């Protein structure tokens, strides 16, 4: 059963409680993730947020910086979600495989549209704000897999992590493209074979 997205939703009740910057970020999060960072114009973001155009430029300076802030917030939330999700596993091997369980929960949420970072960089030029935040997010994901593989006792943590990142990426894209919430579980089953072979 699909669960509600963790992305903030702009409602009449919450609009008054949030600062203008927070309203802009919440509007950007909804619109950029649903439709794309370059398809959505600034006018639609400020209309959704209920602020003046000058407020956006005062808070962020440019649309590129708003995109940076949107992706940075997505990255921070993903880190928090993953860290919290992996706390339920006691064994290092289970934590390593648990990354795919957390992804499966995300893919089952209403409004899941795949990887926000992939989506944004597909629309953006090299060296853009989107690319910079995406590079940092990718580095964090790789480091997470390396650390978890090392904790599980893998003799080649970087090599195992590289294989698992490919599975993770494929599961993220496949869930979206096939509209199938079971893809991360399939990736987890494949990861289990790879992990067990690496730990022998």
**CATH code: domain of residue 39:** 1.10.357.10
Q: Is 61 among the domain residues?
A: yes
Q: Is 92 exposed, middle or buried (0-12, 13-18, 19+ CB in 10 A)?
A: middle
Range of the domain at 75: 12-199
Task: Give the pLDDT confidence of 99-127 residue by residue, as tens digits.
Answer: 999 999 999 999 999 999 999 999 999 99
Distance CA 48, CA 7 (A): 15
Rg (CA), the chain: 18
Q: Is 37 among the domain residues?
A: yes
Q: Is 68 among the domain residues?
A: yes
How far, rounded to the nearest angstrom, does the alpha carbon of residue 175 sit from its chain's CA centroid? Answer: 13
What is the pLDDT at residue 142?
98
Q: At what angle do helices 63-86 and 129-151 cross, to 10 degrees?
A: 10
Alpha-carbon distances of 171 from 14, 23, 50, 191, rounded to whole Å? 34, 32, 37, 11
Of 123, 85, 113, 104, the residue nearest 167 (C-alpha): 104
The stretches in the chain having pLDDT less than 50 are 1-15
- Block residue for tokens 């699909």: 2
The answer to whether 182 and 194 have CB atoms below 8 angstroms apart is: no
Q: Is 2 among the domain residues?
A: no
Q: Is 3 among the domain residues?
A: no
What is the pLDDT at residue 17?
58
The answer to whether 9 and 26 have CB atoms below 8 angstroms apart is: yes
What is the pLDDT at residue 18?
76
Q: Is 49 among the domain residues?
A: yes
Distance CA 194, CA 136 (A): 26
| pLDDT mean across residues, the chain | 92
Identify the sign of the CA torsion 47, 50, 52, 56. Answer: negative
Main-chain dihedrals φ then ψ at residue 176, nearest 5 degrees: -75, -50
What is the pLDDT at residue 1?
40
Q: Within 13 Å, how many C-alpha atoms sit on residue 79's CB side?
A: 14
Overall number of domains in the chain: 1
Q: Is 82 among the domain residues?
A: yes
Q: Is 99 among the domain residues?
A: yes
């Amino acid at each position: 059963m699909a669960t509600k997205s963790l992305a903030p939703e702009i409602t009449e009740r919450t609009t008054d409680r949030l600062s203008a910057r927070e309203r802009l970020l919440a509007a950007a999060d909804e619109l950029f993730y649903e439709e794309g960072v370059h398809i959505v114009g600034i006018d639609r973001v400020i209309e959704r947020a209920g602020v003046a155009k000058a407020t956006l430029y005062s808070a962020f300076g440019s649309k590129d910086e708003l995109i940076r802030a949107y992706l940075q917030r997505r990255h921070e939330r993903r880190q928090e979600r993953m860290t919290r999700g992996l706390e339920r596993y006691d064994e290092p091997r289970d934590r390593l495989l648990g990354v795919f369980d957390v992804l499966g929960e995300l893919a089952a949420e209403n409004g899941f549209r795949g990887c926000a970072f992939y989506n944004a960089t597909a629309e953006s030029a090299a060296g853009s704000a989107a690319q910079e935040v995406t590079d940092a997010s990718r580095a964090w994901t790789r480091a997470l897999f390396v650390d978890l593989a090392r904790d599980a006792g893998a003799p080649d943590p970087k090599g195992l992590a590289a294989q698992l990142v490919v599975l993770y990426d494929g599961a993220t894209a496949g869930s979206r493209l096939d509209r199938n919430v079971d893809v991360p579980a399939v990736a987890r089953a494949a990861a289990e074979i790879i992990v067990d072979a690496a730990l022998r």
